[in-house]
Amino acid sequence: MRIIPAIDIIDGKCVRLTKGDYATKKIYNESPLDVALEFEANGIQNLHLVDLDGAKSKQIVNYDVLEQIASKTSLSIDFGGGIKSNNDIRIAFESGARQITGGSIAVSNPQTFEGWINLYGRNKIILGADCLDRKIATQGWLDDSEIDVLDFIKSYEQKGIRHVICTDISKDGMLEGPSFNLYKEILTKTSSKLIASGGIASLEDLKKLKAMGCEGAIVGKAIYEGYISLKELEKLC
């Protein structure tokens, strides 16, 4: 299982939110690059980079941070937040993203998102299936839909999607453990390569997700709050 630390960006700074609420913003570092370099120095190979300004905007915003990290580290970066047009995805890949994650666009403009899967290939495009009470949330989790998360994933599997990041918003930033039951259902009823996100608070959580069959796990607040050390993660990488 791939261990994937997360860097969320607001105003060019490394932040974390709780349950996706922008009012709970906590700044952990003024320099996302410094954080990324520290990850790399501890054996980390992958990074989940999220443009939270872009997520609630109409386009990608913090592509300069992506470009800086991509050019000064060897981290394999999946980038999400604000990718809502062909120009946005072009900028993201040109700025150094290895993969992009699309969530809102997959709901609001499925034709465009499906076109990206066909154009860039199923290994370059990740479906962002972020949900609250099983319903897909969009626009930086500010808007709800009536789309069931399992139906959402299954529909895009039929269109060629292979990689899925699923965040149970009720767990995100709470440090109370991930949504194991939801992930078990997804792993049982779909064939997607599932990347778990939200609520991870311990090495035991990671070991359980690995045993379940998750392809990857995104770790954010647990690192920044000292629940899991980078040295501990290095042993799992």
Is 8 annotated as catalytic? yes
Identify the DSSP state of 207: H
CB contact set of 80 (below 8 Å; sequence gap of 6+): 48, 49, 50, 51, 55, 100, 101, 102, 103, 126, 128, 165
Distance (Å, whole) CA 33 – CA 70: 9
Q: What angle do CA 12, 121, 56 make, to 5 degrees?
A: 30
Maximum pairwise Cα distance, the chain: 43
Among 8, 51, 53, 78, the one annotated catalytic: 8
Distance (Å, whole) CA 76 – CA 78: 7
Number of helices followed by number of strands (H, E) in the chain: 11, 12
Among 78, 130, 172, 205, the one annotated catalytic: 130
Is 130 annotated as catalytic? yes
Burial class (CB in 10 A: 0-12, 13-18, 19+), 20: buried
Name the one residue in this structure whose structure tokens are 């050390």.
Answer: 229
DSSP assignments along 50-97, one per residue: EEHHHHTSSS---HHHHHHHHHH---EEEEESS--SHHHHHHHHHTT-
- Which positions are annotated as active-site residues? 8, 130
